[in-house]
Amino acid sequence: MEHFLLLPVCFPILAGVMLLLKKEFRTRNALLVYVGTVLSLTGAFACYAVFGIKEGLTLFYLTEEFPIVFRLDLLGRYFSLALTIVWVLAGFFSFDYMAHEKKEKRYFGFYLIVFGVLLGLDFSGNLITMYLFYELMTLTSLPLVLHAQTKEAIMAGLRYLFFSFAGAYMALFGVYVICRYGTTLSFTAGGVIPPAVLEEHRTLFLAASMLMLIGFGVKAGMFPLHAWLPTAHPVAPGPASAVLSGIIVKGGVLAVIRVVYQMIGVDFLRGTWVQTTWMTLALLTVFLGSLLAFREPLLKKRLAYSTVSQLSYILFGLSVMQTEAFAGALLHVGAHAFIKVALFLCAAAIICRTGCKRVDELRGIGRGMPILLWCYTIVSLGLIGIPPLSGFLSKWHLAVGALSAGIPVFSWLGPVVLLVSALLTAGYLLPITMQGFFPGEGYDASRFAGKEPSRLMLLPLLIFAALTVILGCLPNALTDAFEAFAAQIM
Amino acid sequence: MNAFWLFLVVLIPCVGGVVTPLIRWKKRIYCMLYLESLVIFNSILVWLLLVFRPQEAFTLVNFTGNLAIAFQLDGLGTIFAGLVSFLWPFATLYAFEYMTKEKHERTFFMFYTATYGVTLGIALADNFLTMYCFYELLTLVTLPLVMHTLTREAILASRKYLYYSIGGAAFAFIGMIFVITYGETSEFILGGVLDAAKLGGGKNLFLFIYVLSFFGFGVKAAICPLNSWLPEAGVAPTPVTALLHAVAVVKSGAFAIMRLTFYCFGAEFLRGTWAQHLLLLVILFTIVYGCSMALRETHLKRRLAFSTISNLSYILFGVALMTPLGLVGALSHMVFHAFMKISSFFCAGAIMHQTDRHYIHQLDGMARKMPKVFAIFTLSSFALMGAPGLCGFISKWNLASAAIESGGLLSYFGVAALLLSALLTAMYMLNIVIRAYFPKTDFDFSSIADVKDPNWMMLLPLFVFAVGIVGFGLGSAPVTALFTAVAQGSF
Amino acid sequence: MELIRNFPCLSILLSMFSAILSSALKGRGARRLNTFVVTAVGALSACTLYFTHVTGQSYVYVMGHFPAPFGNEIRFGSLEAGMALFFCVIMLLSLNGGRKKLAMDIDPSKENLYYIMVDLLLSSLLALVYTNDLFTAYVFVEINTIAACGLIMIMESGRAIEAAMRYMIMSLLGSGLFLIGLCMLYDMTGHLLMSNIGSSVRMIAENGTYVIPLLVTIALMVVGLAIKSALFPFHAWLPDAYGYSTVSSAAMLSSLVSKGYIFLLIKIIYRVIGFDIFVNSRIINVLFVFGLAGMIMGSTSAIRENDIRRMISYSSVAQIGYIYMGFGLGTSAGMVASVFHILAHAATKSLLFISGVGLTDVSGDHKEFIELTGSAYRNVCAGLAFTVGSLSMVGIPLFSGFISKLLFSQAAVQSQLKMLPALIVLAVSTVLNAIYFMKTVIRIYTPVTSKYESTSMKKNVLYAATLFCFVALNVGLGMCSQPITDWITQGLSVFA
């Protein structure tokens, strides 16, 4: 049965490759049917794999010691589930959105391939497999960034590439070290390196951990290697930037969790300079991201900066190395995925329908596109952390975890920064709602009249808004599971 | 098989190549058939030899004293000979198509085929003197290939190539004299042949000599600062650049250094000395330098040549770690890099052949017109930068784990240099790929309307190499096992 | 077998009398006589070589009826005989190779004069090789100088005469120094026969008397011969003398005349001074340093040269440096290497001169490189031969130059102090050699559409055959060096 795990990974990749190699479809509808079928089937396969498959699968041996292994644990299941939901919905959103863009076949081809690759990343059962899919993720998602083929897009693509590989190779150093000294490569609660070895090569391991944190942190937009994110995400086509910002960045988070909690082990890192540096960087990024977002006039770029900030919430939660904070971080993974995708999809819909890219052009938009703006408002509130929406809960857990971790300075500094950042978040997200619904006296909002997007575009938005609410209201099962999981791996 | 065959496989291509221009061929195709069958026949012979390995050595002539020209086949030679004999028939096939646009074809093939024999001579050499002789010969037989176009540029490049190579050999010569004088024997024996009794106390002197001859052989392996001949030698026809300046010639340099380090001076003797540290420093610098220069370069073949410089130093890095694992890494990169670089060069050659474009900025949008070539180029780029699942990843893996195994600050820096270089590689290779696949929106496709993929003679080698890249990447276990056996001397 | 003992003396007399006879003959007759004599002397030397090699001893042949210490002696072993044979071969080949050019270069009425000089040269060389009497050696040194001057001057161009004058002055300076040394030795020992001087010198050295005079004597003789054989820095006469004379002369001067002096020096070192005393004197360090300097400076001058003949001449300076470097190492292995290099260099350098003239002939007699472009296509044999010569000079395996390089460096490794300088200079010098020789090779193989006519092998069979012999000689020395080094070692062992 375990071979079923291959299906959700390989099927979309093969389908995507076939799509790329195929001649143009005769009608656009044929293309959409093809893509829709593949997306739905993959979604179904993935769901079945997530809920139905218990065993792991050792596919083959890359070298003598290193097998390619797929195995789903709680983390993998959670990430793949979020991924599947977002990917399928954003895919359907693309159907209408991409009508305005060229080279749809290529776009959808890579969209499918990346889906498979990301599922592979989430399913991976050991370090090598994860690294394999991690690199593939960068490479296959690159065409999405490049899609527009403008000078700007190509420069952004190169920058994306440079930063991603810089990160990947920094992390690779750590991978080398772990593979050399580790007893196994499979993800194991509490780490795979014998404590005696850890102590013997203390400096080496600390340096390697730091490099891996920064390296994988690149994908999650952590300072100081965050500069690619606000450039690369906005130039992609709308839905692509949504998934880039909502999902692909989570690849970095997943890798960080795997490495820190399941390879090196938190016991070794706790209280070292690595943890301190990590927390500092994360908090710095949280604050800096919000601040930059606050000052950014372009909507998509503002959202990208917001991603930088929000991802570091998660990283901060992980860096505290405490069960509740860990659970909060994981909750925030899902919450942020849905919210940020929804936000980007809103921006995409606005751009696609009206062509407005700057925030100050959106005054009065609520008149013409009320449903869209309502969705936007709900998820924005979720991101700010207004109860009972999902963002509140995750942040709550983060703050509580940080406070109870008992780390000097950071225990209180963390929550303070999170709070300040939440205020800033409100500051950069809510003005759109306010000005959208209340453009002020004498403002002519007629140019937005009747621009409400099609139902195919609205439906995913509504679902995401609903998910935000649901996650916020019924979090207990998840929180408990996460805390149990955290207790197990710490 | 009889050891005499070792000499024959060296001789056949040399003689067969030399007679090529002497025969009056009625049609071009006869000449081509003759050469291709010659090369294939020789390769089959080599592979038979590799399988049915002659145990003893074959002595051809005695020079002076106990110095002889002799051939034998050991583990290291097996790998190099196997690599070369696998690549040569395909490269010859490719060259037939490529050379249709060049002049003096027969002279070209004369030297091209003779080089095969000479390279095998290096691989199969039994002692230092034999290797040195073939090493010098290699310079001479490849010189006309670099000069081939006879333009001013080519002449200057070939002069430089010659001066560098002969100069390098002159310093390697010093090492040879020392090994002959102070060794128990001048044959290659894993672990070194230096006679402890004769050494006396002058260890530093020997290390100095080792460094000298390392740099001497390092010229062919394009170690910094002796590398500037390599990019300039790119004026040669692409089959030469691809096979010789990415595989046969430059790897001969690396191969000679392996012989020098592991089979003459002995890794035990050198490990942990200042010589090792000095070499590691230079090698690390070269790794980074080659990549940075490649990034700056706008000429396609020159960029690949700089990439070769950097990659050769990967191999040397493995050697300079002076551990069996390091040798495993070096060997794997020697083999795998051959596949990656030859395919990227062949792609570049195919582009030049089909479109006569040499600069990277001229490659906009080409991927649509030459999909097969660019697919393979992309694959080789991914492999070169070490994407997992392709062979480049494995060799880097082997090198890095050897470095970490051996410990020491410089080794860690070495891993860092490898990774930095991988990053730069990603930039300079993918830059081309992106350009070819994603031209600017205003790109005018009518300007490349009549560009198309080359014919099967060019595509078949490319396809085979691509299979190699993926195959080695996914199933490297048996190959690595072989390398390990060689490095431990059990093969 | 007793008959063979007479051969050395016979060959000297044969060549001397042929010189006298030639003065009565016309050009063509003199040429034929000369060819016959050289061949005959070669055959005689071959017999002597065989004889001495089989017996493995050296023999003394008393001239006239005065026994030692008053009489005059010839002493020969396998080394001497072999050297004589080799000189004959090179001379024959050089004359054949340059014959056509000679006819163009000199006035037909002077042709017999030229061959007189050649005969004299041969006789003096043989005498230098064979004699066991220091004063006889001096006499033949002078004869040699005069003959060589004649060979240079025969072209009668202004530059050739100037070069000959220069050569004359420098040579006489050298012979003068040699003579002074000779006188001082006679003063100290009272002997003129080499073996006798040798035993006396050994006694003097053991007694510790005459330390400084002995040192001065050694210095004078060595410097005198070094000037004559153009050791750096006494090489100023060489490029002109070799560059502006006719090609046969240049080939013979570079490969025979200077080698004759060097051979005499070896003889003096072994037989007169004694190898150990020589090694213990500080002179060898001077020789070593000048040898190294010559290796570098000769090559750098050659690189700067724009004239192919002068370039080859400067290369001789470097090669002479190799030989003296071998002396300077002060080991018997170094001596063997030097003697081997005498052979290798003689074979290679005359090949280069002869093939060089083939190239300049098809380039309108221009010696500048720019005119030589593509000349290897116009004269295929000369091009190939020049390439072989160049490769040998650079020290590519399979050719003679490689073996001498190998022997030199093996000898160098045995000496703790001189090892590194010798090895590094060898390597650097290889690079420099490669620079100028390979530059020329590439140049002559660069095709151009040229205004000059090409020539084919069939037009000048003799020339092609000569080149072929030279190449064969070169490859032979390179491939089968084992018997030759054995022979040299054996010859040196019975030398003293």
Which residue in chain C is spatially nearest to B138 when comparing CA positions?
C396
Please tell me the distance from the alpha carbon of residue B128 to that of residue B183, in angstroms, as a whole number. 11
Measured between alpha carbons, how far is residue B358 from residues A288, B3, B352, B361, B371 in Å? 45, 46, 6, 9, 18
- Torsion of Cα atoms, B152 then B157 then B163 then B167, to 10°: 180
Domain coverage including residue B280 = 275-491
Q: How many domains does chain B have?
A: 1
Please tell me the distance from the alpha carbon of residue C138 to that of residue A324, in angstroms, as a whole number. 108
Q: Kindly state whether residue B377 falls inside one of the protein's structural domains.
A: yes
Q: Which residue has the higher pLDDT, C419 or A446?
A: C419
Q: How many CB pairs under 8 A join A and B?
A: 88
C430 and B155: CB-CB below 8 Å? no
Q: Which residue has the higher pLDDT, A96 or C172?
A: C172
Chains B+C touching (3+ CB pairs under 8 Å): yes
The C-alpha of B415 sits at a distance from chain A's nearest C-alpha, in angstroms, of: 7
Q: Which residues pair with B59 in a beta bridge?
A: B70
Asked if residue B112 has pLDDT above 80, the reply is yes
State residue A413's pLDDT score.
Answer: 86
Mutate to test the interface with C, among B67, B131, B142, B166 (most CBs of C within 10 A): B166
Mutate to test the interface with B, among C331, C400, C482 (most CBs of B within 10 A): C482
Asked if residue B186 has pLDDT above 80, the reply is no
Average pLDDT of chain A is 86
Are the C-beta atoms of A468 and A331 separated by less than 8 Å?
Answer: no
The C-alpha of B84 sits at a distance from chain C's nearest C-alpha, in angstroms, of: 23
Which of B158, B166, B208 has its CB closest to that of C430? B166
Q: Kindly state whether residue B149 falls inside one of the protein's structural domains.
A: no
Are the C-beta atoms of A460 and A90 separated by less than 8 Å?
Answer: yes
C431 and B67: CB-CB below 8 Å? no
B261-316 tens-digit pLDDT: 998 888 888 888 899 999 999 999 999 999 999 989 999 889 999 999 999 999 99
State residue A445's pLDDT score.
Answer: 67
Asked if residue C65 has pLDDT above 80, the reply is no
Calculate what percentage of chain C has a pLDDT beyond 70: 98
Which of B427, B473, B476 has its CB closest to that of A161? B427
User: With an 8 Å Cβ cutoff, is B155 touching chain C?
Assistant: yes
Residue A429 CB contacts under 8 Å (≥ 6 apart), including other chains:
A306, A343, A380, A383, A384
- Residues of chain B in contact with residue A144, where contact means CB-CB under 8 angstroms, are none
Beta-strand pair C72-76/C59-63: antiparallel
- Residues of chain C in contact with residue B158, where contact means CB-CB under 8 angstroms, are 442
Partner B, chain C 399-428, Cβ-Cβ below 8 Å: 403, 405-407, 409-410, 412-414, 416, 420, 423-424, 426-428
Please tell me the distance from the alpha carbon of residue C207 to that of residue B282, in angstroms, as a whole number. 58
Mutate to test the interface with C, among B64, B132, B219 (most CBs of C within 10 A): B64
State residue C68's pLDDT score.
Answer: 65
| Mean pLDDT confidence for C119-141 | 90
State residue A246's pLDDT score.
Answer: 86
Q: How many CB pairs under 8 A join B and C?
A: 89
Measured between alpha carbons, how far is residue C370 from residues A13, A481, C360, C447 in Å? 64, 87, 11, 12
Please tell me the distance from the alpha carbon of residue C297 to that of residue C293, in angstroms, as a whole number. 6
B404 and A136: CB-CB below 8 Å? no
Residue A299 CB contacts under 8 Å (≥ 6 apart), including other chains:
A347, A350, A351, A356, A357, A358, A359, A362, A432
Mutate to test the interface with B, among C445, C449, C485 (most CBs of B within 10 A): C445
Which of B62, B162, B174 has its CB closest to that of C482? B62
State residue B311's pLDDT score.
Answer: 92
| Token digits of residue C421 | 């300088």
**Confidence at B64, pLDDT banded by 50, 70, 90:** low
| Token digits of residue B140 | 């001479």
C442 and B163: CB-CB below 8 Å? no
Beta-strand pair A67-70/B58-62: unpaired
B166 and C434: CB-CB below 8 Å? yes
Please name which of B468, B454, B477 lies closest in space to residue B100, comparing C-alpha atoms.
Answer: B454
User: With an 8 Å Cβ cutoff, is C380 touching chain B?
Assistant: no
Residue C163 CB contacts under 8 Å (≥ 6 apart), including other chains:
C152, C237, C240, C241, C243, C244, C245
Residue C212 CB contacts under 8 Å (≥ 6 apart), including other chains:
none
Which residue in chain B is spatially nearest to C434 when comparing CA positions?
B163
Which residue in chain A is spatially nearest to B389 when comparing CA positions?
A132
Q: Kindly state whether residue B254 falls inside one of the protein's structural domains.
A: no
The C-alpha of C260 sits at a distance from chain B's nearest C-alpha, in angstroms, of: 26
- Residues of chain C in contact with residue B208, where contact means CB-CB under 8 angstroms, are 420
3-state helix/strand/coil string of chain C: CHHHHHHHHHHHHHHHHHHHHHCCCCHHHHHHHHHHHHHHHHHHHHHHHHHHHHHCCCEEEEECCCCCCCCEEEEECHHHHHHHHHHHHHHHHHHHHHHHHHHHHCCHHHHHHHHHHHHHHHHHHHHHHHECEHHHHHHHHHHHHHHHHHHHHCCCCHHHHHHHHHHHHHHHHHHHHHHHHHHHHHHHHCCCEHHHHHHHHHHHHHHCCCHHHHHHHHHHHHHHHHHHCCCCCCCCCHHHHHHCCCHHHHHHHHHHHHHHHHHHHHHHHHHHHCHHHHHHCCHHHHHHHHHHHHHHHHHHHHHHCCEHHHHHHHHHHHHHHHHHHHHHHCCHHHHHHHHHHHHHHHHHHHHHHHHHHHHHHCCCCCCEHHHHCCHHHHCHHHHHHHHHHHHHHHCCCCCHHHHHHHHHHHHHHCCCCCHHHHHHHHHHHHHHHHHHHHHHHHHHCCCCCCCCCCCCHHHHHHHHHHHHHHHHHHHHHHHCHHHHHHHHHHHHHCCC
- Residues of chain A in contact with residue B423, where contact means CB-CB under 8 angstroms, are 162, 165-166, 169
Please tell me the distance from the alpha carbon of residue B210 to that of residue B187, in angstroms, as a whole number. 17
B181 and C435: CB-CB below 8 Å? no
The C-alpha of A177 sits at a distance from chain B's nearest C-alpha, in angstroms, of: 7
**Confidence at C471, pLDDT banded by 50, 70, 90:** very high
Q: Kindly state whether residue B386 falls inside one of the protein's structural domains.
A: yes
Please tell me the distance from the alpha carbon of residue B377 to that of residue B381, in angstroms, as a whole number. 6
The C-alpha of A180 sits at a distance from chain B's nearest C-alpha, in angstroms, of: 6
C378-391 tens-digit pLDDT: 888 889 999 999 99
B167 and C407: CB-CB below 8 Å? no
B173 and C409: CB-CB below 8 Å? yes
Mutate to test the interface with B, among A62, A113, A158, A163 (most CBs of B within 10 A): A62
| Mean pLDDT confidence for B48-74 | 83
Asked if residue A403 has pLDDT above 90, the reply is no
C294-342 tens-digit pLDDT: 999 999 999 998 888 889 999 999 999 999 999 988 888 899 999 999 9
- From the number of C-beta atoms within 10 Å of its C-beta (0-12, 13-18, 19+), residue A81 rates as middle
Average pLDDT of chain C is 87
Please tell me the distance from the alpha carbon of residue A2 to that of residue A57, in angstroms, as a whole number. 6
Chains C+A touching (3+ CB pairs under 8 Å): no
Q: Of the ranges A348-357, B79-88, B440-449, which one carries the lowest mean pLDDT score?
A: B440-449
State residue A473's pLDDT score.
Answer: 83
| Mean pLDDT confidence for B111-118 | 91
Which of A131, A157, A177 has its CB closest to that of B404? A177
3-state helix/strand/coil string of chain B: CCCHHHHHHHHHHHHHHHHHHHCCCCCHHHHHHHHHHHHHHHHHHHHHHHHCCCCCCEEEEECCCCCEEEECCCHHHHHHHHHHHHHHHHHHHHHHHHHHHCCCHHHHHHHHHHHHHHHHHHHHECEHHHHHHHHHHHHHHHHHHHHCCCCHHHHHHHHHHHHHHHHHHHHHHHHHHHHHHHECCCECCCCCCECHHHHCCCHHHHHHHHHHHHHHHHCCCCCCCCCCHHHHHHHCCHHHHHHHHHHHHHHHHHHHHHHHHHHHHCHHHHCCCHHHHHHHHHHHHHHHHHHHHHHHCCEHHHHHHHHHHHHHHHHHHHHHHCCHHHHHHHHHHHHHHHHHHHHHHHHHHHHHHHHCCCEHHHCCCHHHHCHHHHHHHHHHHHHHHCCCCCHHHHHHHHHHHHHHHHCCHHHHHHHHHHHHHHHHHHHHHHHHHHHHHCCCCCCCHHHHCCCCCCCHHHHHHHHHHHHHHHHHHHCCHHHHHHHHHHHCCCC
State residue C30's pLDDT score.
Answer: 87
Residue A454 CB contacts under 8 Å (≥ 6 apart), including other chains:
A96
State residue A373's pLDDT score.
Answer: 86
User: With an 8 Å Cβ cutoff, is C476 touching chain B?
Assistant: no
* ipTM for the whole complex: 0.86
| Mean pLDDT confidence for C29-42 | 90
User: With an 8 Å Cβ cutoff, is B171 touching chain C?
Assistant: yes
Highest-confidence range of A188-192, A457-461, C298-302, by mean pLDDT?
C298-302
**Contacts of A among chains (3+ CB pairs under 8 A):** B
State residue C69's pLDDT score.
Answer: 67
Average pLDDT of chain B is 88
C424 and B162: CB-CB below 8 Å? no
Please tell me the distance from the alpha carbon of residue B471 to that of residue B315, in angstroms, as a whole number. 21
- Residues of chain B in contact with residue C397, where contact means CB-CB under 8 angstroms, are 129, 132-133, 136-137
Asked if residue C179 has pLDDT above 90, the reply is yes
State residue C53's pLDDT score.
Answer: 85
A162 and B389: CB-CB below 8 Å? no
Which of B416, B431, B481 has its CB closest to that of A173? B416
**Contacts of C among chains (3+ CB pairs under 8 A):** B
Please tell me the distance from the alpha carbon of residue A106 to that of residue A93, in angstroms, as a whole number. 17
A169 and B434: CB-CB below 8 Å? no
**Confidence at C1, pLDDT banded by 50, 70, 90:** low
Cβ neighbours, 10 Å, residue B149: 17
Residue indicated by tokens 């999809």 = A345
Q: Which residue has the higher pLDDT, A449 or B362?
A: B362
A169 and B422: CB-CB below 8 Å? yes
| Mean pLDDT confidence for A237-264 | 89
Q: Kindly state whether residue B342 falls inside one of the protein's structural domains.
A: yes
Residue indicated by tokens 């190998």 = C406
Asked if residue C375 has pLDDT above 90, the reply is no
Residue indicated by tokens 């939901």 = A85
| Token digits of residue B336 | 């795998």
| Token digits of residue A4 | 């079923």
Terminal alpha carbon distance of chain A:
31
User: With an 8 Å Cβ cutoff, is C71 touching chain B?
Assistant: no
Which residue in chain A is spatially nearest to B415 when comparing CA positions?
A173
**Confidence at B327, pLDDT banded by 50, 70, 90:** very high
Please tell me the distance from the alpha carbon of residue C114 to that of residue C111, in angstroms, as a whole number. 5
Q: Which residue has the higher pLDDT, A152 or C64?
A: A152
State residue B65's pLDDT score.
Answer: 65
Please tell me the distance from the alpha carbon of residue B300 to that of residue B436, in angstroms, as a whole number. 13
Which of A149, A172, A176 has its CB closest to that of B441? A149
**Contacts of B among chains (3+ CB pairs under 8 A):** A, C
A32-56 tens-digit pLDDT: 888 899 989 999 998 888 888 788 8
B64 and C406: CB-CB below 8 Å? yes
